[in-house]
């Protein structure tokens, strides 16, 4: 299985604006929790509210960490398009499409809704990496995948698909 093209899509570093918004949310949430907890007299109720508050904060932190650290590795072989998602050290193949099943490759602006499932494998806007819609057939339905890659990668894919 010879690799024709390989592309890695990493999220860029968190911006100062986003970091500021996260800090305001954390400080505001902590302040509101503190105000509410000080009004409670029952120790058991305070403990329950504290544990629930901690679970909400940890859940929010883990969800934001997941989106910040997501990396997509896209590989084109002679007969397949394979997309792997990496989060820290977990790696999972999230899409594997045969080249012969791909029907259209369009810029995201020209794409229309399809009858099957639409999956998104893009991150924030990045220089030099445009967003495309790859439409493919699976189980008799036309499905689509939004990908973000360089022009060289998409040209290699179009040559194999013969579009």
- Averages of pLDDT over each 10 residues, the chain, 163 residues: 79 70 81 80 83 84 78 89 88 91 87 83 77 88 89 88 77
> Residues with Cβ < 8 Å from 19, sequence gap 6 or more?
none
What pLDDT sits at residue 14? 63
pLDDT of residue 1: 60
Predicted pLDDT at 58: 84
Q: Residue 27 region, left (φ>0) first, then alpha (ψ -120 to 50), else beta? A: alpha
- Give CA–CA dist 161/132, Å, rounded: 15
pLDDT, residue 11, reads 72
Q: DSSP secondary structure string, 21-72?
A: HHHHHHHHHHHHHHHHHHH---HHHHHHHHHHHHHHHHHHHHHHHHHHSEEE
> Can you tell me the distance from the alpha carbon of 128 to that of 149, in angstroms, rounded to the nearest whole number?
8
Q: Angle at the Cα of 70 (from 65 to 74), degrees rounded to 5?
A: 175
């Amino acid at each position: 299985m010879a690799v024709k093209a390989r592309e890695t899509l990493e999220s860029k570093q968190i911006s100062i604006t986003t970091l500021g918004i996260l800090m305001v949310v954390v400080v505001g949430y902590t302040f509101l929790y503190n105000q509410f907890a000080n009004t409670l007299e029952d120790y058991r109720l305070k403990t329950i509210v504290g544990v629930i508050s901690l679970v909400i904060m940890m859940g929010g932190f883990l969800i934001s960490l997941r989106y910040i650290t997501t990396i997509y590795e896209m590989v084109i072989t002679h007969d397949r398009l394979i997309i792997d998602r990496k989060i820290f050290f977990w790696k999972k193949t999230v899409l594997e499409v045969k080249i012969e099943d791909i029907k259209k490759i369009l810029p995201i602006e020209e794409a229309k809704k399809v009858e099957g499932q639409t999956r998104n494998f893009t991150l924030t806007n990045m220089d030099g990496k445009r967003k495309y819609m790859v439409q493919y057939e699976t189980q008799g339905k036309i499905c689509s995948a939004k990908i973000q890659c360089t022009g060289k990668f998409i040209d290699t894919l179009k040559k194999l698909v013969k579009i």
